[in-house]
């Protein structure tokens, strides 16, 4: 049984399961996708959200200590917003064995806020 947010009745308010379900539904709504029925938990049903051209895996953390990458992104955001720009963090890992690696062995990723991709997302008006 699901509530109006699509959360399972066993996912209590404030629980990590409930927060995960809410994130999946938010991301699906913002990116125009659908939540996978098994939320990526079945061998035949990968990922959490399916969107046109994207398969998104959602992760939520409620750790009190901020991860280093979040601290770094906050610094970048303050600098970018001071110039009227959107923040982005480019990460490069040397991992030639990775399926993501380019011909030189590098894996390049870009991290952005959802609100910067979709201004109508919660937080899209922050600055």
* pTM for this predicted structure: 0.74
Identify the residue with better confidence: 40 or 102: 102
> Tell me: the pLDDT tens digits for 27-53?
999 999 999 987 655 666 688 999 989
Where are the chain's structural domains? 1-62, 64-127
User: Which of 50, 16, 15, 22 lies closest to 36 in space, CA to CA?
Assistant: 50
> Is the alpha carbon torsion for 30, 20, 62, 9 positive or negative?
positive
């Amino acid at each position: 049984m699901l509530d109006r947010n699509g959360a399972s009745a066993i996912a209590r308010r404030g629980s990590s399961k409930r927060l995960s379900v809410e994130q999946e539904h938010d991301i699906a709504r913002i990116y125009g996708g659908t939540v996978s029925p098994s939320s990526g938990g079945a061998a035949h049903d990968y990922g959490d959200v399916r969107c046109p051209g994207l398969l998104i895996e959602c992760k939520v953390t409620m750790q009190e200590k901020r991860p280093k990458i979040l601290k770094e992104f906050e610094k970048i955001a303050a600098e970018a917003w001071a110039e009227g720009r959107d923040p982005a963090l480019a990460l490069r890992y040397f991992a030639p064995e990775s399926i993501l690696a380019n011909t030189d062995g590098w894996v390049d990723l870009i991290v952005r806020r959802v609100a910067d991709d979709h201004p109508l997302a919660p937080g899209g008006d922050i600055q």
